[in-house]
Structure 1
Amino acid sequence: MGWASGLVVFFLLWWLTFFAVLPIGTQPNPDGDSATGWRGVPERPRMLRKVAITTLVACVLWLGFYVLEESDWLSFRSGWLALPEK
C-alpha cells in the first residue's frame, strides 16, 4: 500500500469513526425553545475529546487494516481468494 492510498484509507476510517463517536455522551438541552420546542444542540458537546478519541480509534483500525493488507493471510494473488488462472 502506498502512502496516498494509506492516507485515503485513514481519512475514510477517521470519518466513519467520527460519526460513530459523535453521539456518545451527549445530552440535549432539557428546556428547549419555548416557541418551537426544539431542543437543539447539546449543552456540552466536548468536541476536542471526541476528535481525540476518533483519532485514536482510527489509528488502531488503520494499523489493523495495514497489517491485514500487507500479510499473506488475505491475498487475491495466492491462496483460497486467488483469481483463477486463464
Structure 2
Amino acid sequence: MNIATIILVFVISWWMVFFAALPIGVRAQDETDEEITEGTVPSAPSNPNLKKKMFWTTIVAILVTIGYYYLATSGLISFRGMKPS
C-alpha cells in the first residue's frame, strides 16, 4: 500500500465525517436569545463551532484511516484472486 492511497483514504473519510458532523449542535439565530445579525437570514447558525468540529473530525478520520490500513495490510479481507461468477 502506497502513501497516496493512505492520504486519499484520510481525505475522503475526513470530508465524510465533517459533513456528517456539521449539523450537530447547531442552533439558528432565531432559536437563540441573541439578536439576529443584520444582513443574514434568521435561520443562519448562531455559533457553528467549526474549529471544534474540525478537530474531532480529524481525530475520527485518523482512526478510520488506521482501521483501513490495518484491514488492508493484515489479510483479513482480500479482494485479490476473486473471480467474477
TM value normalised by structure 1? 0.78
Q: Please identify runs of 4+ aligned residues in structure 1 that moved more than 6 A.
A: none
Cα shift readout 1:34-59 (whole Å, capped 9, x = no counterpart): xxxx4232111111001001001111
- What percentage of aligned pairs have identical amino acids? 36
In 2, the alpha carbon distance for the partners of 1:67 and 1:42 equals 39
Aligned partner of 1:62 in structure 2 is 65
Count of residues paired in the alignment: 76
1:3-82 aligned within 5 A: 3-30=3-30, 38-77=41-80, 82=81
SS in 1 for 2:29: coil
**Structure with more helix by fraction:** 2
Runs (5+) with no aligned partner, structure 2: none
Superposed CA RMSD in Å reads: 1.8
- Specify which structure has the bigger relative contact order, considering alpha-carbon pairs within 8 angstroms and separated by 6 or more residues: 2
In 2, the alpha carbon distance for the partners of 1:70 and 1:49 equals 32
TM value normalised by structure 2? 0.79
